[in-house]
Amino acid sequence: MAAAATATGRPAVIRKLGHLDVYHSAWHTLRHLIAVVIACRYAVPSSPGLSEQQLRTVFEHAVARTVLDHPVLRVGIIDDTSKKPIWARIPSVDLAAHMDWQTLDCTSEQDYETKLQALIDHHHDTQFTELATKPGWRMTLLRRRISSPGNLSAVDGTAAPASGLEPFVEVVFSWNHANFDGMGGKIFHETLLGNLNKVASAAKDDIQLPLEGHVLDLAAYPLNKKNFTPNLHDVTKLPVTPGFTVKTAWKELKPAKKTAADPAVSTNSHGTLWAPCVEEPYKTHTLRSHPLDGPALSRVLALCRKQAGGGVTLTALLHALCLSSMAPLFPAGTATTGTVPPPDYFEAGTALNFRRFLKPSPPGYPGFEPSRTMANYVTSLDHKFGPDIVAEIRKTDASDDPSGVQLTDATKAVVWRAAAQIKRDLQARMDLGVKNDQAGLMALVGDWRAQHSASAKKPRHFAWALSNIGVINGGDGTSGNNWTIDKSWFTVGAMVTGGVFMVSPVAVKGQGLFLACTWQDGVVEKQFAEKFFARLDARLRELAVE
């Protein structure tokens, strides 16, 4: 597959990458964040029955439709290591090169989950190559084969199909963040689900698609600057005040006077001296859980709404639970890394979906619908938990529950107070709309690779960062005739200069909340990460039984 070319032989340029796209492309080329993953379990309709080959054909046609629906899935990136990379047209997409079917022989649910986890981490740590000629996404489609006596399901004891394959397809979809954000990944899966049901009900669907074998011909779908997905700065103004500009620029661009390993650096300068930025080795570790089923999630959301001051959001609660899970892991008066003292406060980050601020069909982009557009429309917000609330968390945890697992009444009170603080942070940011956002200052940076490399030499800001993409509408499978989604995992690859932990919840309509946490190998010990996530998971479950 070659990049589309003009009559002069030059690649068919669409436009330069937007500021946010270049920002994330630099992460990819530096191996600071390689890939983002959303894995969804698609339940196969019971009627009509499909052979394995028919099922794979239906999926391929649905993916082809999805690629045609979203332009960012059918473009390449020219000069991705330069200061100004370029989106380029691709004449075709070989779906066989992007869709890898695998059948896993498993003896138990745990056996399958272990293999699934290894695959997800492999996606996180595998760079996208040949980006000038291939779009920056891929997927592994898993079938699980039953290998238990009597051809019964090793998981729930129900009768398995004659083929031994369970009636679902696990789609592990990964992408280069330069192409789109986490909400874009969610939009991909919802689009794919809709197309699966369209393809399943369409007659002679292969005639409707420009497929030759497994190759999707894009000649009839040319992209140019006018019909390609607009970048954030094309569809909205991002005004900034002088004060915000000076404050933000100094925070981001000031040189590092001391390294994160210098014990003389005060803990008041950063709360994560215990986990300095390390560029190599780049290896992602992931922990996952399904802490809340549908009814349990409803109970937790009801509890959030009951809180004083109009309630809090699930995102706010999760931040507070992260704080209560992490702070006691650093007992006051003990050293953490060498001679670095324990943190007396923590910083955290929230990924914010910018689509809520964008208007449909702005000038020059008729038909633009932000809520259904795969692109980088994301920003972030910083939070700080000061010494007082950190000390109180440690005190209540240590004095009331030495095991650190259960939430005592005293700890719950501090958790809800921390959640209220996050709610205020988020509301203040929402009230600003597009004003005074760091995205409005991105043009100040002429070389994002150099900027990210410099950031890796400075102390890390966030102990954790949270990205909540909300609820995936998995459809209605009550009739047995439709494809549905009944499980999902959203995982962000290890971030060299981002949060020590990347916490990423996603809900599936009617199926509850699925939670994941990633971190970079060598930044913290595995035992520390497991203890943090176990506490977070246990405390979330405990709130569901109140």
Q: What is the pLDDT of residue 206?
A: 47
For residue 412, pLDDT beyond 50: yes
Residue matched to tokens 């894009």 = 218
Is 455 in contact with 253 (CB distance < 8 Å)? no
Q: What is the pLDDT of residue 158?
A: 47
Instruction: Return the closest-CA partner of residue 487 out of 478, 474, 469.
Output: 474
State the pTM of this model. 0.92
- Measure the CA–CA gap between 331 and 309, rounded to whole angstroms: 32
Beta bridge partners of 285: 519
Q: What is the pLDDT of residue 335?
A: 43
| H or E stretch at 385 | strand 378-385
Q: 499 falls in which pLDDT band (50, 70, 90)?
A: very high
Q: 201 falls in which pLDDT band (50, 70, 90)?
A: confident
Q: What is the pLDDT of residues 322-336, one digit of tens each?
A: 999 999 998 654 444
Prior bond of 281 cis (ω within 30°):
yes
For residue 255, pLDDT beyond 80: no
| Encoded amino acid at 162, one letter | A
Go through 531-540 and write b for each residue having 16 or more CB atoms within 10 A of its CB, e for each that does not.
bbbebbbbbb
Percent of the chain having pLDDT more than 70? Answer: 87
| Encoded amino acid at 319, one letter | H
| H or E stretch at 423 | helix 409-432
For residue 372, give the DSSP letter: G
Q: Which of 165-169, 331-335, 400-404, 440-444 has the lowest mean pLDDT?
A: 400-404
Residue 281's CB is within 10 A of a number of other CB atoms, namely 11
Q: 50 falls in which pLDDT band (50, 70, 90)?
A: confident
Q: What is the pLDDT of residue 323?
A: 96
Percent of the chain having pLDDT more than 90? Answer: 78
Q: What is the pLDDT of residue 237?
A: 94
- Measure the CA–CA gap between 507 and 246, rounded to whole angstroms: 39
Q: What is the pLDDT of residue 258?
A: 47
Q: 487 falls in which pLDDT band (50, 70, 90)?
A: very high
For residue 260, pLDDT beyond 60: no
Crossing angle (nearest 10°) for helices 314-326 and 526-543: 130
For residue 270, pLDDT beyond 90: no
The mean pLDDT value for 247-254 works out to: 75
Q: Which of 235-244, 256-265, 298-307, 425-434 has the lowest mean pLDDT?
A: 256-265
The mean pLDDT value for 180-207 works out to: 86
Q: What is the pLDDT of residue 330?
A: 85
Instruction: Return the closest-CA partner of residue 285 out of 73, 122, 155.
Output: 122
232: exposed, middle or buried (C-beta count within 10 Å: 0-12, 13-18, 19+)? buried
For residue 481, pLDDT beyond 50: yes
For residue 386, pLDDT beyond 50: yes
Instruction: Return the closest-CA partner of residue 75 out of 161, 133, 162.
Output: 133
The mean pLDDT value for 457-463 works out to: 94
- Measure the CA–CA gap between 446 and 120, rounded to whole angstroms: 33
Q: 155 falls in which pLDDT band (50, 70, 90)?
A: very low
Strand order from edge to edge, sheet including 99-106? 99-106, 137-146, 168-175, 36-43, 484-492
| Encoded amino acid at 224, one letter | N
What would the two tokens of residue 316 be? 């706010």
**Which domains, ranges and CATH numbers included, belong to the chain?**
13-217 (3.30.559.10), 283-357+379-472+489-543 (3.30.559.30)
Distances (CA, A) of 192 to 58, 100, 111, 133: 11, 16, 28, 23
Q: 273 falls in which pLDDT band (50, 70, 90)?
A: confident
260 or 60, higher pLDDT = 60
Instruction: Return the closest-CA partner of residue 413 out of 307, 310, 326, 318.
Output: 307
- Measure the CA–CA gap between 291 and 513, rounded to whole angstroms: 7
Residue matched to tokens 């059918």 = 74
Q: What is the pLDDT of residue 405?
A: 63
Q: What is the pLDDT of residue 344?
A: 87
243: exposed, middle or buried (C-beta count within 10 Å: 0-12, 13-18, 19+)? exposed
**Average pLDDT value over all residues in the chain:** 89
Q: What is the pLDDT of residue 148?
A: 63
For residue 108, give the DSSP letter: S
Q: What is the pLDDT of residue 2?
A: 52
- Measure the CA–CA gap between 437 and 419, rounded to whole angstroms: 22
For residue 406, pLDDT beyond 80: no
Q: 261 falls in which pLDDT band (50, 70, 90)?
A: very low
Residue 423 CA to its chain's centroid (Å): 21
Is 138 in contact with 98 (CB distance < 8 Å)? yes
Q: 490 falls in which pLDDT band (50, 70, 90)?
A: very high
Q: Regarding beta strands 36-43 and 484-492, do their DSSP bridges make them parallel or antiparallel, or are they unpaired?
A: antiparallel
The mean pLDDT value for 370-390 works out to: 96
Tell me the Cα Rg of the chain: 24
82 or 163, higher pLDDT = 82
What would the two tokens of residue 413 be? 């009170």
- Measure the CA–CA gap between 397 and 331, rounded to whole angstroms: 10
Q: 156 falls in which pLDDT band (50, 70, 90)?
A: very low
For residue 482, give the DSSP letter: S
Q: 256 falls in which pLDDT band (50, 70, 90)?
A: low
For residue 513, pLDDT beyond 90: yes
Is 470 in contact with 186 (CB distance < 8 Å)? yes
Q: Which residues contact 490 (CB under 8 A, 6 or more apart)?
A: 37, 38, 182, 185, 186, 467, 469, 504, 505, 506, 514, 516
Q: What is the pLDDT of residue 192?
A: 98
249 or 21, higher pLDDT = 21
Q: What is the pLDDT of residues 424-449, one digit of tens each?
A: 999 999 999 999 999 999 999 999 99
Residue 405's CB is within 10 A of a number of other CB atoms, namely 11
